[in-house]
């Protein structure tokens, strides 16, 4: 499998983080973000988007031995850019177009020339949207926190 | 001899056409959308995901619509659909301690790190019908209390520090049992039991859980913790050589804390039952935790006397697709079988009558 130079120099943890964000990225955002990036148009399918299942596991008691909880739908896709960079995506759900866009974004992210564009146009907005959503959920949930107080009764 | 009888095709076709019309309801009203079902009947959708054993909100909403709100029928549709897809692999076990919590309560500790978060709950409502909901009333936006993320350790981890409660069963490295791949045989390990319960019928598990409370295999339970929210799903991708997060799913977890008087080997301590379900499925997770604990009777040296302690009984009947298949098949034509029985009963009656005549 061909790798662009940058994929070997970039630590996988960064790419992991980028892929985790891409997994949450809306299709329209990625499509808009890829506009005008020439390499994106030249991407070809190594493995066309494919829908399947993953078995989601839990742990007994939350932290113990694993068990099978149930399945979830997943779409996976692998693309190759004209320069040989391989992009991969695995996302929950059954949106083939979204999986292909995420794979293209992953490939572009690995190249020094296009990483900045992907960061700015796709990853940053997703990161912000996610942080905002989480903050709202946290604030809504925190508003339902019980603030206990003790009533002193009787004479003693 | 097997005699095939033909002739139902037209009737079946027309029956399904009639079904589609009934499903659609009043055609002067707009058809209900999947977004409306997923958004406004979200707990029905969650139940279909949990018992259909497939996390996919859109598919579950479609199943609810197609099944006219018959949830067992919807679950059946989801189970059938999943058999059409290849399985890519298994996820890392989800980390419920790292959940984005939307609800978290404990009935055992008032003050715990992170606090008691009621979230969107029916608890403490008055269960009075709200006539306003017949329309589309204006609603205030949810109250907000902005704050920084706080750690929300599981209650059982807090108790565990003192050794008062049994630890989580340690990972053995053994393959994880999967009852969708291998037929269930007994005795079944706890991994298979939990899988069976997680996809089991909520009503059935609720009844069994209730039976343990009423004395049929008593376990003295307390809700150590219930939490609901989103967890990340992570898979290994062999071609990458590292794992990636592929999205988030909603789950409900229940930690039941139960009495245990100790045995020859172990001092008295609290034991645990565990419940975990897709979506916001609190009743399900609680029932599952109670039944999980009662199925551990053998392991904990307790007498197995009640139905909820009998794993073969519990697991063989908890799947509502299996149950409905066997119960409902009775309404399909059994003309030939019945003809045979009819013949037999007639012959027996003749024999009895002849004997009586001979005796007279």
pLDDT score recorded for residue B1: 57
The pLDDT of residue A6: 45
- Contact B139/A at CB under 8 A: no
Interatomic CA distance for residues A5 and B325, integer angstroms: 57
Of A93-102, B45-54, B78-87, B104-113, the poorest mean pLDDT is in B104-113
> Closest Cα of chain B to A154: distance in Å?
23
CB contacts of A136 in chain B (<8 Å) are: 144
Domain borders along chain A are 5-138
Substitution target in B55, B102, B155, B192 with the highest count of A β-carbons within 10 Å is: B55
Which residues on neighbouring strands pair with residue B165, listed in sequence order? B270
Work out the angle at residue B238's Cα, subtended by the Cα atoms of residues B233 and B239, and round it to the nearest 5 degrees: 115
How far apart are the CA of A66 and the nearest CA of chain B, in angstroms?
6
Q: Which residues of B touch A146 (CB under 8 A)?
A: 115-118
Q: Are B168 and A61 in contact (CB under 8 A)?
A: yes
Residues of A in contact with B248 (CB under 8 A): 24, 92
CB contact at 8 A, B245 and B234? yes
Nearest chain A residue (CA) to B242: A12
Nearest-angstrom CA–CA distance, A105 and A31: 10
Q: Rounded to whole angstroms, how far apart are CA atoms B237 and B25? A: 46
Q: What pLDDT, in 10s, does the model give residues B226-256?
A: 999 999 999 999 889 999 999 999 999 999 9
Q: Do A58 and B96 touch (CB under 8 A)?
A: yes
Name the least confident of B15-24, B201-210, B217-226.
B217-226
Residues in contact with B45: Cβ distance below 8 Å, sequence separation at least 6, in sequence order: B37, B38, B57, B60, B61, B64, B279
Residue B155: which of B125, B192, B112, B212 has the closest Cα? B112
CA–CA distances in Å: residue B199 to residues B18, B54, B83, B192, B253: 32, 9, 15, 11, 14
Q: How far is B50 from chain A (nearest CA, A)?
A: 8
pTM: 0.92
Residue among A35, A37, A15, A30 nearest A129 (CA): A30
Contacts A105 to B, Cβ<8 Å: none
Distance in angstroms (rounded) separating the CA atoms of residues A130 and A150: 38
Q: Are B331 and B218 in contact (CB under 8 A)?
A: no
- Residue-wise pLDDT for B265-285, tens only, equals 777 888 999 999 999 999 999
Please give chain A's pLDDT, 156 residues, in tens.
Answer: 344 444 444 556 799 999 999 999 999 999 999 998 988 899 999 999 999 999 999 999 999 999 999 999 999 999 999 999 999 999 999 999 999 999 999 999 999 999 999 999 999 999 999 999 999 999 999 999 998 877 777 766
Show residues of chain A in contact with B61, CB under 8 Å.
none
Nearest CA-CA distance, residue B303 and chain A, Å: 23
pLDDT tier, B221 (very low <50, low <70, confident <90, very high otherwise): very high
Find the mean pLDDT for residues B25-53. Answer: 97
What residues does each domain of chain B span?
A: 11-82, 96-119+151-167+180-319
Q: How far is CA B235 from CA B83, B94, B172, B294, B358, in A?
A: 21, 10, 20, 32, 79
Nearest to A22 by CA among A112, A140, A115, A84: A115
Per-residue pLDDT of B131-141, as tens digits, reads 999 999 999 99
Contact status of B226 with chain A (Cβ, < 8 Å): no
Q: How confident is the model at residue B85, as a pLDDT?
A: 97
């Amino acid at each position: 499998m061909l790798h662009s130079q940058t994929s070997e120099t970039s630590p996988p943890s960064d790419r992991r983080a980028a892929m985790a964000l891409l997994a949450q990225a809306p299709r329209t955002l990625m499509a808009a973000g890829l506009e005008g990036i020439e390499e994106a148009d030249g991407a070809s399918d190594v493995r066309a988007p494919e829908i399947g299942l993953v078995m989601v596991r839990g742990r007994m008691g939350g932290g113990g031995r694993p068990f099978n909880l149930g399945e979830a739908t997943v779409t996976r896709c692998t693309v190759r850019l004209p320069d040989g960079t391989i992009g991969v995506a695995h996302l929950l759900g059954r949106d083939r177009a979204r999986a292909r866009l995420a794979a293209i974004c992953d490939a572009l992210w690995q190249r020094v020339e296009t990483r900045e564009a992907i960061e700015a146009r796709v990853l940053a907005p997703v990161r912000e949207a996610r942080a905002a959503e989480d903050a709202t959920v946290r604030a809504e949930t925190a508003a339902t926190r019980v603030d206990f107080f003790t009533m002193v009764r009787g004479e003693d | 001899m097997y005699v095939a009888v033909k002739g139902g095709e037209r009737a079946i076709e027309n029956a399904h056409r009639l079904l589609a019309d009934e499903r659609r309801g009043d055609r002067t009203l707009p058809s209900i959308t999947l977004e409306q079902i997923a958004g406004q009947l979200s707990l029905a959708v969650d139940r279909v995901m949990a018992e259909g054993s497939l996390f996919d909100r859109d598919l579950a909403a479609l199943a609810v619509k197609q099944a006219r709100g018959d949830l067992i029928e919807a679950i059946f549709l989801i189970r059938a659909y999943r058999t059409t897809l290849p399985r890519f692999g298994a996820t890392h076990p989800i980390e419920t301690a790292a959940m984005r919590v939307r609800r978290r309560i404990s009935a055992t500790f008032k003050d715990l790190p992170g606090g008691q978060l009621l979230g969107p709950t029916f608890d403490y409502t008055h269960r009075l019908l709200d006539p306003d909901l017949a329309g589309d009333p204006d609603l205030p936006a949810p109250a907000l209390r902005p704050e920084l993320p706080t750690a929300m350790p599981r209650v059982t981890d807090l108790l565990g520090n003192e050794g008062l409660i049994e630890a989580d069963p340690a990972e053995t490295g053994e393959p994880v049992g999967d009852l969708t791949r291998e037929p269930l045989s007994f005795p079944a390990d706890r991994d298979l039991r939990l899988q069976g319960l997680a996809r089991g019928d909520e009503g059935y598990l609720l009844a069994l859980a209730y039976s343990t409370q009423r004395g049929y295999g008593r376990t003295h339970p307390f809700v150590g913790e219930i939490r609901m929210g989103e967890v990340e799903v992570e898979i290994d991708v062999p071609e990458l050589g590292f794992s990636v997060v592929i999205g988030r799913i909603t789950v409900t977890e229940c930690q039941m804390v139960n009495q245990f008087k100790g045995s020859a080997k172990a001092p008295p301590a609290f034991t645990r039952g565990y419940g975990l379900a897709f979506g916001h499925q609190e009743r399900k997770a609680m029932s599952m935790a109670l039944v999980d604990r009662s199925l551990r009777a053998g392991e904990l040296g307790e007498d197995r006397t009640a139905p909820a302690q009998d794993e073969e009984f519990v697991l063989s009947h908890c799947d509502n697709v299996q149950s409905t298949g066997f119960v409902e098949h009775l309404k399909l034509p059994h003309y030939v079988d019945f003809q045979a029985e009819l013949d037999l009963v007639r012959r027996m009656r003749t024999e009895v009558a002849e004997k009586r005549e001979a005796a007279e």
